[in-house]
Homo-oligomer: A and B are copies of this chain.
Amino acid sequence: MTATGNQRARQTRLLALRFDGEALIALDQTQLPWREQYLRLTSAEEIAEAIRRLAIRGAPLIGVAAAYGIALDPSPAACALLKAARPTAVNLAYAVDRVAAADDPLTEAMAIHREEEASSDAIAAHGADLLAGTATILTHCNTGALAAPGRGTALAVVEELALRGSLRLALITESRPLLQGARLTAYELTTLGIRFELLVDAAAPAVIASGAVDAVIVGCDRVATNGDVANKVGTYALALAARAAEIPFVVAGPTSTIDGQCPSGAQITIEQRDPSEVRSLAGQPVTVPDAPCRNPAFDVTPAALISGLVTERGVATPVGIESVSELISG
């Protein structure tokens, strides 16, 4: 029955990107859920621009996209350009360096792509084991098949819990400013036939406090070696609320998200994006013209607030230097 369920889910899952030998074909995520429009990207510059404007997004997915970018152009200039496209996700730099150093860049990019797909299935299984029996889960931003090759990370765990039969409801946050939850997660869960309810970001901590949520699961953009996690802005508040409500707060991502050079969250560069993203919502102005805005794309959640870090190699719990070190060496 699980196999049938998995198969059904796979049939309807979106293909966020593929490489056709000459170009990266990528679903333009800025157009979802209104238009399913594919971009044909034939240079590292075009791929970097698509990553920068979030047409391609999600830490694992931008790593794979950048890998193909270097396969198209392994020059130092292209490497620098792609690494600079988003400063927080470590997968990006990791994939760029690995493909640039390879004898056959395209083969290496395809290897990274396949590895991340396999990671996705393993994360789904480990996460669903950890959260076995969960009926109501809350997740943030978008971490499914649009954020990572294969099934995704945190949303892959949500899907697996649904396939295993325990999940009754996924609560999802809209994830301002760019609404990845409202636009993309709502779209993915609709496609997968998983029951959900959408919340504004500010409502999620209160809904957790009300006792309506069994567990919170999120993805990650960079994990420090002490287990501190940078993820979509808003994650930290969910972790505080989960701790206060004494429910699990779980982070899911491939080990490629762990930055072995980064000892703690204090060393993670937080990308500050353009104020215009805050000044408008779905194309409509929301405030006075030229309102000064502060627009951090990510925040840092300290390891002490995280119940478990789910990777393709298994789960670190409690989350700290020792358990993260085991995952890296594992």
Contact = CB atoms under 8 A, between A and B. Distances in A.
A45 to B, nearest CB: 30
A182 B287 CA distance: 5
A183 B287 contact: yes
A299 interface: yes
A216 interface: no
Most buried by B among A173, A175, A190, A287: A287
A288 B186 contact: yes
A83 to B, nearest CB: 24
A174 to B, nearest CB: 6
Contacts of A197: 292-294
A3 interface: no
A87 interface: no
A34 B287 CA distance: 9
A62 interface: no
B33 A287 contact: yes
Nearest to A203: B233
Interface residues on A, range: 35 or more
Interface in A115-137: none
A165 interface: no
A295 B183 contact: no
A253 interface: no
A80 B296 CA distance: 46
Contacts of A200: 176-177, 201, 233-234, 278, 295
Interface of A: 33-34, 171, 173-177, 179, 182-183, 186-187, 190, 195-207, 209, 232-234, 236-237, 240-241, 244, 278-279, 281-288, 291-296, 299-300
Top 9 closest A-B pairs, CB basis? Answer: A202-B234, A206-B299, A201-B202, A205-B237, A182-B287, A176-B200, A237-B237, A240-B240, A282-B284
